[in-house]
Amino acid sequence: MTHHTESVAPEGVSIDGKTIALLVTDGVELLELTEPLAAIRGAGGTPKIVSPKKSSLQAMKGDWEHADHFDVDHQLGTVSASDFDALVLPGGTLNADSLRIDEKAQEFVSGFFSESKPVAAICHGPWILTEVGQVSGRRMTSYAALRTDLSNAGAQWVDEEVVVDGGVVTSRTPKDLDAFNRVFLELVAARA
């Protein structure tokens, strides 16, 4: 299935040979999945959808409007952080709420921190980072509704388009996707 997207890789950024996991399930915000997929491919990387779902998942436009279905590349539990170079955590309320209480998802995400690999989370995506203890002391942003959760978990929450703290990139909404993708890909490219 082809999706039209304006998002392309930043000029001169190459992540050739790198494989990026996108951890998602039903209810993922459509653009927060399709635009990073296109940006990763545009920079020469290989995106892989990892999900608790076996074969396909349902994306959404907002929380109520059903969008496209996407094939799952790897079921959660069959791969680990060591199989990838970086991780993207798209938002969508239902997607993020479901993943943050999934023990296999928590284990998968924790692996990227154990291996010091880049993690990018947008909108509701950072929710799972509170569950795996990766928020305290970090400067972060997210969808405004997560501000209290992240702050209570020890984050310094800011209202900015894109924030980088160590190897973690966060953004607020689909409007921030161009900056989110650019900064994330530059971070992945810098880690030769």
Distances (CA, A) of 157 to 35, 137, 165, 177: 24, 10, 11, 19
Alpha-carbon gap, residue 69 to 157, rounded angstroms: 33
58, two tokens: 């349902």
Taking the C-alpha atoms of residue 1 and residue 70, their distance in angstroms, rounded to an integer, is 8
Contacts 24+ apart (CB under 8 A), 6-9: 6/178, 7/35, 7/36, 7/38, 7/39, 7/42, 7/177, 7/178, 7/181, 8/38, 8/39, 8/42, 9/39, 9/40, 9/42, 9/43, 9/44, 9/181, 9/185
**What are the catalytic residues?**
123-124
Nearest residue to 76 via CA among 153, 24, 144, 3: 24
User: Which residue stretches of the chain are H helix?
Assistant: 30-42, 93-100, 103-114, 127-131, 147-152, 177-190
